[in-house]
A and B are shown apart, each in its own frame.
Chain A
Amino acid sequence: MGSEPPADPRTRPPAFYGQAAPPGFSTTNLPPPQGGSQPPAPARPLTRQEALRKRNRRLLWILIPTVIVVILTAAGGAVAIYYGPLIQLLQSSTGHTIARSTAETGINVPTDILSGERVNILLLGSDNDTQKFTDGNGLPGNGVLTQTVIIVSLDPATKTVDLLSIPRDSWINLPGQNSCVKLDEAAGLGKTSDEAIQLERTVIERDYGIPIWRYAWVGLEGFVKVIDTLGGVDIDVLHPIVDDEYPNDVGHPDSQFGYTRLDIPAGPQHLDGATALQYVRSRHADATGDFGRSQRQQSVLLAMEKKVKSTDLIAKIPDLATALQGNVLTDMTVKEITEVANFSRGITHDQIKQYVFSPPDYSIGSGLLYRGNGSSTYAVAPNWDAINQTVQSVIHPDPSINQNQPCAISPVPGQWSN
């Protein structure tokens, strides 16, 4: 490395920026620059070359703003195309508040859900999506069964998350009626999607004593599409799933009551959306029925959470938004969703605890129960002492919440086991 050569005193800014000086010109014999203390040069007619240059300059001044406007318009269009599905999704699916019923009186819901207190979000998943639904929102109602009921409880103070699964066969009070039904039937008795969600929310609050501040519903087809958009999930399948009676209704609107067969091997593997749905939905293959299914649902939920953290979500936003269109509904606002997402980002799996309110610990028996009309149905009788104890220790609900009296059970003789 040699020392820098001294500056050449003859070197001055060139007169012809962007192009070489014409032959015969040098930087030393240029006319002095305009302005300054020098008197202005006398006016003279423009040469042809100068006139052309002036016209070009004028054209340039027109062209540049035009190009900028075109670029901005195109960029705006691209942004609209890119985020259009997201905007549409947010408009149609978020902030869908469902009025509190009279049975929910006394449940205090703060306006700022992450203000510091524990937040309980009711996560619902239902089968058949829009196939039996008539109120336009693609939500459960008119006989559609809720397959997944999970309370996602976030504690901003301790930065922990608790997942509480409630089996759909749990025998509970039907809100507003002097009768008992299974949990999934409660939603099915709603005439509209809002009623269906309101009924499930009321059951969780009044029977289980868990105040619900927000809900989020996801349809099965949306579940499949979201997992596929994320590129699948990696999961350790707990045990082989061999099912001869798996409902063949997703993607087959003409075959709602058909069956297909499943064989999912056990062990770590990559599942696409359709297989992940089969894994969380199958129950005829599992001797523990809903208990096993609830465990599988929670493990897939955790795998999805892990996948979301490791995925470039920004790039997938349009696809995700399209996938969720008509398949998700929540009363959370965009701001709240963002806050919850930010909260979840800092949570590790060690900070997540899982509970399944199923036999044997959380049930006093299962089998055929008589309904009020004399017919019978398979149901699980919750062990309310055990459930209340767990709810108290995990959720710490407001003690002023009035819990319903447990439903009476009338087992069919010989068809009930404790």
Chain B
Amino acid sequence: MRHFSCAWAVVELKRRGMHRQRAREQRGHTARHRRCARTPLYFWLSLVGVLALFLQGCNSLAGDNGQFRPALTSTSGGGTPLEVNSEERFPGKIAFVRNHRLYVLDGTTGEITPLNAGDDVSDPAYSPDGTHLAFISRSASWSDLLVMPADGGTPTALTHSQGSGQITCPSGITINNQVWVANPVWSASGDTIFYLSDHQKLDTACGFSDMGIWKMTAAGTDPQLLLPPALGDENSGLPGAGGDTNLSLRPGNDPSLAYTHYAYDAQNGTTLLIQLFLGMLDGEQETALSPTTLNQAPEQARQPAWSPDGHDLAYIRQDGSSTDLMVMRVSDPADGAPDFGDYATRITLLDGQITYPVWSPDGKDLLFLAYKDDAYNLYLAHLVFSDNTIGVAGSPLQLTQGGVDGDTQPAWTGK
């Protein structure tokens, strides 16, 4: 509408200008001077001002396709207002983070609602029934996992990571026993929450505080280390590269967690390995599940996302500075141990950097963040499945304009 208004204003001004020109030609110079003489200076100044305002407004939208409408004004830093695609609708709701604050985009209305989750939040995750939202609240040197009603409300802290004492590391320095938690993922039943934490460092007296995979009840009780970070063996590599992240739960009879495993090569100690790993929920760690072609440096694979039926695994492949969205067909989850690695389909999307794929609840679309024109925004790709290939119908649709946080994964619920 704003775009239309600008165009209309320019056309109208042109039309009036042409009309005046014609009249001027008919009346001659005397009439022109007389009209000018009668017209106060402030009128012309006002006209110039209005014209400038209109042009300014038009310029701010230059380059877009007119599909976007203002939805949210930046809440900090005087940044660009967030706009949503007014033509795109989808089932359910998408939770995302912008300027470290939590928002929900309603797919049926296109409305964006801020949630009162507080400042500096990240990693939203909907419960299976869509009634609750888990997320991370960060402080300067620790973070906590909180749960709140999906439409907003009072958050409940499931962890208390601030610490109350100090530990002395082998290096001699004293640090607080604070810990980080991140990346909550709900179990299919909603009874358990898997998450990342460096809590195990308290048992190992410092060292590299890489993130391991933990679980606890949805009430925040009984925290347990499920999978430690890199162990220093040939399979898991050397610690000191940050550990594990990007948890994704595979549904089915034999549920498992896919995640990105960061470690240094055990052979030379310096080659950074970024691989997809699979962890069974009994705590057993499988080998890297990437196709063999992905294990060869400098190609790296990260940010796995299981499809709702557990048949397909979306992830990001990085080769140098370019990123690709890949989808790997995996054996039926009902067949027991997954059979990975025969092939993966590269989905050509955009030239920009792509990150954090998220499946739609019905498994027909992929949501992701893409970096374009100096900002991360939400995009939607509609998938087309055939026997052995997966493609995209048309071009991905841009859902937002103006930028969302690129360092945290959005969440999608169909409820």
* B407→A287 contact, CB < 8 A: no
* B245→A266 contact, CB < 8 A: yes
* B376→A287 contact, CB < 8 A: no
* A265→B175 contact, CB < 8 A: no
CB proximity to B under 8 Å, residues A352-393: 358-360
Determine if B45 is an interface residue (Cβ-Cβ < 8 Å): no
Q: Inside 8 A of A349's CB, which chain B residues have their CB?
A: 321
Give the distance in Å from the alpha carbon of A4 to the alpha carbon of B141 in the complex. Answer: 79
Q: Inside 8 A of A238's CB, which chain B residues have their CB?
A: 272
* A244→B206 contact, CB < 8 A: yes
Using CB atoms, name the residue of chain A closest to B33: A14
Using CB atoms, name the residue of chain A closest to B196: A240
Q: Taking A18-B37, A243-B209, A360-B268 as contacts, is the C-beta distance between A261 and B406 under 8 angstroms?
A: no
* A266→B262 contact, CB < 8 A: yes
Using CB atoms, name the residue of chain B closest to A237: B407
Determine if B283 is an interface residue (Cβ-Cβ < 8 Å): no
* B201→A234 contact, CB < 8 A: no
CB proximity to B under 8 Å, residues A1-55: 4-5, 8, 11, 14, 17-20, 27
CB proximity to A under 8 Å, residues B368-401: 369, 371, 374, 376
* B33→A241 contact, CB < 8 A: no
Give the distance in Å from the alpha carbon of A238 to the alpha carbon of B269 in the complex. Answer: 16
* B270→A14 contact, CB < 8 A: no
* B407→A270 contact, CB < 8 A: yes
Which of B21-29, B55-63, B307-315 faces chain A? B21-29
CB proximity to B under 8 Å, residues A239-268: 239-245, 259-261, 263, 265-268
Give the distance in Å from the alpha carbon of A269 to the alpha carbon of B355 in the complex. Answer: 9
* B198→A242 contact, CB < 8 A: yes
* A14→B262 contact, CB < 8 A: no
Partner of B182, one of A241, A263, A269, A270: A263
* A267→B407 contact, CB < 8 A: yes
Determine if B329 is an interface residue (Cβ-Cβ < 8 Å): no
Determine if A285 is an interface residue (Cβ-Cβ < 8 Å): yes
Determine if A288 is an interface residue (Cβ-Cβ < 8 Å): yes
CB A170 to nearest CB in B, in angstroms, measures: 16
Using CB atoms, name the residue of chain A closest to B26: A5
Determine if B92 is an interface residue (Cβ-Cβ < 8 Å): no
What are 8 contact pairs spanning A and B, CB under 8 A?
A5-B26, A234-B374, A240-B210, A261-B142, A266-B262, A267-B355, A269-B406, A286-B241
Taking A240-B211, A269-B405, A288-B269 as known contacts, 10 extra A-B pairs with beta carbons closer than 8 A to each other, sorted by chain A number, are: A234-B371, A240-B243, A241-B242, A242-B198, A261-B140, A266-B260, A268-B371, A269-B407, A285-B242, A287-B241
Which 6 residue pairs are nearest across A and B when measured between Cβ atoms? A287-B240, A240-B242, A269-B407, A261-B141, A239-B242, A263-B180
